[in-house]
Amino acid sequence: MLTSELDYQQFVKSFKARTGIDLTYYKEAQMKRRLTSLREKKGFNSFKDFFQAIELDSNMYAEVLDRITINVSEFYRNQNRWKVLEEKIIPNLPGTSLKKIKCWSSACSTGEEPYTLSMILHQSFPKLHADILATDIDENAMKKAKAGIYMERSLKEVPEKTKISYFKQDNQLFYVTSEIKKLVTFRKLDLLADTFEKDYDLIICRNVMIYFTEEAKHLLYQKFSRALKPNGVLFVGSTEQIFNPKQYNLETIDNFFYRKVSN
């Protein structure tokens, strides 16, 4: 193995031991490129020296985490999928007839995704009691999520009526209202390392699988399937179709929506 390759592999090992984050589950070429460019920008010639600096400096660690986790998000991302969720999926979730659903936005980043769900539920299903858990590996992103304050560019796809009902504008900033925030609970969770709760009606996992290796995706689909109730639904990102969903006990019910087959 090349010295530089060895240097990187050792970094991956030390990073896991120190932080619990397993970089081997992320597509290697992409991850290596992103970390190498940060290392060079910071003026380190090797990953060994870079790791020592990370251990000593929490700001440096935060920057590394920022490079690993790509936090781009927006409200109603791929709006037509949210319309399908509202019109076809939520009315048929197992808990909907019982007036109680358990939902999980599993890579929630800065909060746009769980708040979009909260807005849809509040607006169109006011009698439905909903718990929304929102998790991410990145605590800094979740700090922003909890604050619920956004620039206009995150709201491009928000329908006008929703914008008026659920945001308060102050200068250039948009504040999510408290009725929307209170449906959502934020918690740190690593999809690849942590165990999941069970009995979800709806799990949303969008625009994070693209960064994972095939092996990581395979493990994750198995975990999601186990975490769903029978007939519960997994909602994935618009480039993230599941190959052969049957192997996970899932069936396609619409583009990017998979229902757990009841045994």
Record the tokens describing residue 17, joined without a space. Answer: 């031991």
Site track 39-68 with ligand SAM (rule: CB under 6 A), x = hit: ------------------------------
CB of 263 to ligand SAM, least distance (A): 28
Residue nearest ligand SAM (C-beta atom): 69
Residues 66, 140 contacting (CB under 8 angstroms): yes
Interface pick for ligand SAM out of 137, 184, 234, 236 (rule CB under 6 A): 137
CB of 222 to ligand SAM, least distance (A): 15
CB of 43 to ligand SAM, least distance (A): 26
**Residue 107 binds ligand SAM, judged by CB under 6 A:** yes
Site track 234-263 with ligand SAM (rule: CB under 6 A), x = hit: ---x--------------------------
What sign does the dihedral 81-87-88-89 (CA atoms) show? Answer: positive
- Residue 5 CA to residue 10 CA, distance in Å, equals 9
Residue 24 region, left (φ>0) first, then alpha (ψ -120 to 50), else beta?
alpha
Interface pick for ligand SAM out of 11, 31, 73, 117 (rule CB under 6 A): 73
- List the Cα angle 136/137/143 in 5-degree steps: 65
Residue 200 three-state SS = strand
Checking DSSP bridges between strand 228-236 and strand 200-205, what pairing results, if any?
A: parallel
Interface pick for ligand SAM out of 38, 62, 70, 219 (rule CB under 6 A): 70
Q: In what order do the strands lie in the sheet with 173-176?
A: 149-151, 173-176, 167-170
CB-nearer residue toward ligand SAM: 94 or 133: 133
CB-nearer residue toward ligand SAM: 131 or 190: 190
SS3 content of the chain, % helix, strand, coil (to 5): 50, 20, 30
Question: Which residues would be at the binding site for ligand SAM (CB under 6 A)?
Answer: 69-73, 77, 107, 109, 112-113, 136-138, 141, 190-192, 206-208, 237
